[in-house]
Amino acid sequence: MLCTALVMAGSLALTTAVVAHAYYLKHQFYPTVVYLTKSSPSMAVLYIQAFVLVFLLGKFMGKVFFGQLRAAEMEHLLERSWYAVTETCLAFTVFRDDFSPRFVALFTLLLFLKCFHWLAEDRVDFMERSPNISWLFHFRIVCECPSFVCSSFA
């Protein structure tokens, strides 16, 4: 937990420093944005910050939809995501010419949605085997399933 907080704080500090440096050099908004998007190190820092924000969003949505994850769910999630990332990296070799920010964003969204679908599948599996299910558990499942269906068709 401490390591995650340090990475988040470091990413925020680095992003702030990069944006402040760009603004110090250009003194106006539009030239600053152009400088940030044309500079590869600046874009790398902004990608890291975007990854941190997606990670925070995922943690938040996980807490809202699933609460505390069980050890088996976490193990299944890590195993499945490892295979999904490996398969996608192999697919990246085929689409290396289309490697753009939009492509990376869509890949991240795909992995994000896959993870939540896997967690929902594990929860429904747990629900089928458990005799005592709380109303909060049912409420979370009823709320998450339609949102996952909508996101799958979007």
91 and 58 co-located in one domain: no
DSSP string, the chain: -HHHHHHHHHHHHHHHHHHHHHHHHH-SHHHHHHHHHH-HHHHHHHHHHHHHHHHHHHHHHHHHHH-SPPHHHHHHHHHHHHHHHHHHHHHHHHTGGG--HHHHHHHHHHHHHHHHHHHHHHHHHHHHH-S---HHHHHHHHHHHHHHHHHHH-
Q: Where do we find the tokens 């992003």?
A: 15
55 and 88 co-located in one domain: no
88 and 114 co-located in one domain: yes
30 and 74 co-located in one domain: no
How many CA atoms lie within 13 Å of 135's alpha carbon, on the beta-carbon side? 0
CB-CB contact of 58 with 112 (8 Å): yes
Structure tokens at 36: 């940030």
pLDDT by position in tens, the chain (length 154):
688 889 899 999 999 999 999 999 999 999 999 999 999 999 999 999 999 999 899 889 888 888 888 898 899 989 998 998 898 888 878 877 777 778 888 888 888 888 888 888 888 888 888 778 788 877 887 777 777 777 767 6
Quote the pLDDT of residue 19: 95
57 and 121 co-located in one domain: no
Q: How many domains would you assign to the chain?
A: 2
CB-CB contact of 117 with 148 (8 Å): yes
152 and 97 co-located in one domain: yes
115 and 88 co-located in one domain: yes
39 and 115 co-located in one domain: no
Quote the pLDDT of residue 154: 61
- The whole domain housing 19 covers 1-66
